Amino acid sequence: MIGRVAVPVVAVVTLALPAVLDDSALAVYILLGLAAMVTVGVSLLMGYAGQVSLGQGAFYGIGAYTAALLTLGGVPPLAGLVAAPVVAAASALVVGTPLLRLRGHHLAFATLAMQLILLSVAGQLEFTGGDIGLQGIPQFGVGSWEAGGAAAYAYLTWAGLALVMLVTRNVITSRPGRALRALATSETAAASSGIPVGRYKLVVFALSAAFAGLAGGIYCYYTGYVAPGSFPVLISIQYIVMAVVGGLGTIWGAVVGATAITLLVQGLDGLATLPGMPSYAPTVLSYAVYALVLIGMVLFMPRGLVPALSRRRKSLSERV
């Protein structure tokens, strides 16, 4: 029901915005779309399949580095962009095999540790450019066409987001999706219905990593450089906050949550970079805001914005 109203509205706004926004606003718009893409994966993983990951930023980074390294090595950007989600998903399959035996906060800490390890490895290795990272990544392009400005990346980002949302919706409303939702409640009962629980958890982890990897791939072409500092742990926490704010287990919630948090953080960044503020103010403020927003949501709107709003609308229409 939300979908029927929201899809056309969002589609029109999405298509119109790149034409009217200036470059700095477009940067926010693109980063928002990329964050939403990762957050859809988080919502699928946490909200539907009941598995926690505090390391989605790692897959975002893996996607970005994959595309950057390939393209710098002379591979066409399109192939680099396709490889980004594939390599991220493959990495998830490898690390997920031991990690997904863990549950709840054990799994959360393990995925967090995975990202920390990956960041320090990327900071040490020569071929990833160490702490400085990789620079001079060519523009994205297909054949002779090259993405000229920010507007092209905005379209690319939002097309990617639409694809990710469509795949998620299709998966959720089908046999494998029901299996994921079932194992979120009871792995035992799911297994007795013939669901290979371990394999399904691995696949959904890989799918969410692929979404993050795709976003990372677009990111590297847009910014032209990647470095370990682009993928801090804070970014993984941010995706969780976005998913929770929008409403876990709703696809639109991921987009709404990403939008709400991005705009909020933008506003605060303006505040934190005012003259006289210390240099660490933006980071500290973001952490504080994430914490406050999370606590506020858990207390007042535990199911998130989208479920709360659609329920209010439903009860209103029932009253009339």
Q: According to the binding rule CB under 8 A, does residue 318 interact with another protein?
A: no
The residue count for binding another protein (CB under 8 A) is 27
50 by DSSP, 3-state: which?
coil
Q: Which stretch binds another protein (CB under 8 A): 30-38, 86-94, 148-156, 191-199?
A: 191-199
Name the residue nearer to another protein (CB basis): 114 or 165: 165
**Binding range to another protein, per CB under 8 A, among 65-73, 170-178, 223-231, 312-320:** 170-178
181/249 Cα distance (integer angstroms): 9
Q: 54 by DSSP, 3-state: which?
A: coil
182 interacts with another protein by CB under 8 A: yes
Which residue, 188 or 315, has its beta carbon nearer to another protein?
188
Q: Which of 197, 268, 285, 294 binds another protein (CB under 8 A)?
A: 197
Single residue of 73, 194, 275, 278 touching another protein by CB under 8 A: 194
Burial call 249-286: b when 16+ CB within 10 Å, e when fewer: bbbbbbbbbbbbbbebbeebeeebeeeeeeeebbeebb
Contact 162, 36 (CB under 8 A): no
Nearer to another protein among residue 194 and residue 276 (C-beta):
194
Rounded-to-integer distance, Cα 48 and Cα 29, Å: 27
- Judged by CB under 8 A, which stretch of 11-19, 182-190, 230-238, 239-247 contacts another protein? 182-190
Helix (H) or strand (E) segment spanning residue 166: helix 150-172
Per the CB < 8 A criterion, the answer to whether 66 and 88 are in contact is yes
Residue 165 interacts with another protein (CB under 8 A): yes or no: no
| Residue 48 beta carbon to another protein: minimum distance, rounded to whole angstroms | 8
How many whole angstroms from its chain centre is CA 252?
Answer: 13
Question: Exposed (0-12), middle (13-18) or buried (19+): which is 155, by Cβ within 10 Å?
Answer: middle
Task: Considering only residues 233 through 292, tell me which ones interact with another protein, judged by CB under 8 A.
Answer: 249
201 contacts: CB under 8 Å, gap ≥ 6:
49, 51, 96, 100, 183
CA-to-CA dists, residue 23 to 12, 27, 28, 108, 234, angstroms: 20, 6, 9, 36, 25
Report if residue 193 touches another protein, rule: CB under 8 A: yes
Which of 97, 120, 185, 273 binds another protein (CB under 8 A)? It is 185
Q: Which of 8, 196, 224, 302 binds another protein (CB under 8 A)?
A: 196
DSSP 146: E
Query: Shortest Cβ distance from residue 49 to another protein (Å)?
Result: 11
Question: CA 213 to CA 152: how far, in whole Å?
Answer: 19
214 binds another protein (CB under 8 A): no
Binding residue for another protein, selected from 181, 264, 266, 285, defined by CB under 8 A:
181
Closest distance of CB 43 from another protein, Å = 13
Q: Which is nearer to another protein, 88 or 179 (CB)?
A: 179
Closest approach, Cβ 204 to another protein, in A, equals 8
Asked if 95 and 248 count as a contact pair (C-beta separation under 8 A), the reply is: no
The contact set with another protein (CB under 8 A) reads 167, 170-171, 174-179, 181-182, 184-186, 188-197, 203, 207, 249
